[in-house]
């Protein structure tokens, strides 16, 4: 095991301790951000070792589930700390995650891969199944609260919240069953052109060690992101930007490991792995976070606003429409990546200038 792959998580853990003990300072924030970046690289490396041991699509599922579980914990903890001021945090973070993944991550992967290889291929069956579940989950949890009449202000009643949580968990559970058991071949690289397909897997002990270090890296990433959240909020307030930008910044930090892993796969001509990571992460973000957030909101009677604004619904609909066209052929090029990145740029611009 390369030394840096375990030294960087140790440094990040030390920075977490320093953040708990030392008073806030700009130099400390810079050091924590540097540790965060290094831990992202180490986490992706450990995830790739695990993926090489368990094979696709289990490898990408491990990273997506690990990050999403900790991401949900981060959202819940911020909700508990923020009270009513955090009522829209889950919605902002989930919507930001969808836009970042479906436009930013997918767009970058398509563009980077196309610039290097011209065209790349992936399995249409797997991508279409995942995207259909994502559209259903997003509509049921983020769009329906706007049009229901039991409550106002983009909220659900308690029975509606319960249904949304059960539907999200059920859809995600069936998707994982299809991805890993029933139709696993839908999520495998087309043909046998994957360079690493025949690489010898690491020993079981080495894979378990990497699995443990992966969780250390992810906990460090989320912990440092949470500690950097006040600095982000102060920066946003000083720039007089909308408060929703805080959710975008937190989502960007938490999704860094998956983004880096997806880009590395696209550069290695493994676009199927990139698609598995991207779409799987978006599904896990909603399918696991919504039940956790709803459970806490109901149990502690916390306010929870899930409904999107008209501007956000337009961006969501545009993302899904373009995504259907992109994923419908199984082949990608430079133009498709550029279109997704332009939608992502519009999302960022309209977040700053609503």
Q: Which residues make beta-bridge pairs with 121?
A: 331
Cβ density class 163-186: b for 16+ within 10 Å, e for less: ebbebbbebbeebbebbeeeeeeb
The pLDDT value recorded for residue 126 is 87
Predicted TM-score (pTM) above 0.95 = no
353 in the Ramachandran plot: left (φ > 0), alpha (ψ -120 to 50) or beta? beta
φ/ψ of 285, rounded to 5, equals -60, -40
* Residue pLDDT, tens place only, 150-187: 898 889 999 999 999 999 999 999 998 988 888 888 88
- Counts for the chain of helices (H) and strands (E), in that order: 14, 2
Alpha-carbon distance of 321 to 138, in angstroms, equals 13
Count of other CB atoms within 10 angstroms of residue 339? 18
State the average pLDDT over residues 106-124. Answer: 90
**Residue 22: pLDDT above 80?**
yes
Instruction: Provide the domain count of the chain.
Output: 1
> Per the structure block, which two tokens stand in for 213?
């270090």
What is the overall mean pLDDT for the chain? 84
Domain of 231: which CATH number? 1.20.1420.30
Owning domain of residue 310: 3-352
Alpha-carbon distance of 318 to 301, in angstroms, equals 34
Alpha-carbon distance of 353 to 18, in angstroms, equals 36
The pLDDT value recorded for residue 303 is 86
DSSP E strands in the chain: the ranges are 120-121, 331-332
Alpha helices in 100-157 (DSSP H): 106-117, 124-138, 144-147
The pLDDT value recorded for residue 130 is 92
Is the model more confident about 216 or about 1?
Answer: 216
- The DSSP symbol for 186 reads G
Q: Which residues make beta-bridge pairs with 331?
A: 121
Distances 339 to 64, 238, 318, 323 between C-alpha atoms, Å = 25, 32, 11, 10
Angle between helices 58-82 and 256-267 (to 10 degrees): 160
In a 10 Å sphere around its CB, with 0-12 CB exposed, 13-18 middle and 19+ buried, how is residue 239 labelled?
A: exposed
Is the model more confident about 253 or about 220?
Answer: 220
Confidence of residue 9 (pLDDT cuts 50, 70, 90): confident
State the average pLDDT over residues 18-27. Answer: 84
Q: Which among 259, 303, 332 is positioned nearest to 110, based on CA atoms? A: 332
Residue 162 · residue 298 · CB < 8 Å:
yes
Q: Which among 254, 244, 235, 228 is positioned nearest to 352, based on CA atoms? A: 244
Instruction: Find the range with the poorest average confidence among 118-127, 199-208, 277-286, 293-302.
Output: 199-208
Cβ density class 28-56: b for 16+ within 10 Å, e for less: bbeebbebbebbbbbbbbbbbbbbbbbeb
320 contacts: CB under 8 Å, gap ≥ 6: 131, 135, 138
Q: With pLDDT > 70 as the criterion, what percentage of the chain qualifies?
A: 91
Confidence of residue 200 (pLDDT cuts 50, 70, 90): low
């Amino acid at each position: 095991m390369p030394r840096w792959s375990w030294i960087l998580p140790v440094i990040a853990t030390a920075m977490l301790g320093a953040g708990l003990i030392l008073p806030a300072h700009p130099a400390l924030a810079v050091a924590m951000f540097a540790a965060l970046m290094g831990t992202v690289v180490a986490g992706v490396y450990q995830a790739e070792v695990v993926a090489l041991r368990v094979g696709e699509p289990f490898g990408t599922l491990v990273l997506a589930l690990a990050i999403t579980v900790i991401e949900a914990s981060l959202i819940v903890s911020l909700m508990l700390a923020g009270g009513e001021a955090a009522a829209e945090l889950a919605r902002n973070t989930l919507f930001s995650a969808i836009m970042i993944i479906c436009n930013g991550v997918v767009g970058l992967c398509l563009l980077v891969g196309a610039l290097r290889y011209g065209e790349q291929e992936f399995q249409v069956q797997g991508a279409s199944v995942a995207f259909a579940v994502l559209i259903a989950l997003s509509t049921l949890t983020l769009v329906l609260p706007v049009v229901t009449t039991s409550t106002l202000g983009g909220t659900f009643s308690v029975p509606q919240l319960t249904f949304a949580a059960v539907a999200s968990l059920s859809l995600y559970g069936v998707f994982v069953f299809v991805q890993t058991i029933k139709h696993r071949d839908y999520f495998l690289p087309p043909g046998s052109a994957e360079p690493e397909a025949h690489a010898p897997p690491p020993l079981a002990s080495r894979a378990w060690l990497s699995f443990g270090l992966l969780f250390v890296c992810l906990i460090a990433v989320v912990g440092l992101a949470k500690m950097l959240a006040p600095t982000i909020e102060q920066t946003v307030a000083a720039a007089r930007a909308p408060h929703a930008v805080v959710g975008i910044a937190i989502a960007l930090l938490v999704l860094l490991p998956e983004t880096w892993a997806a880009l590395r796969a696209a550069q290695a001509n493994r676009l199927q792995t990139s698609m598995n990571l991207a779409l799987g992460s978006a599904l896990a973000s909603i399918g696991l976070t919504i039940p956790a957030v709803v459970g806490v909101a109901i149990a502690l009677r916390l306010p929870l606003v899930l409904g999107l604004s008209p501007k956000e619904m337009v961006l969501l609909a545009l993302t899904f429409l373009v995504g259907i066209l992109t994923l419908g052929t199984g082949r990608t090029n430079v133009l498709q990546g550029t279109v997704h990145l332009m939608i992502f740029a519009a999302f960022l611009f309209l977040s700053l200038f609503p």
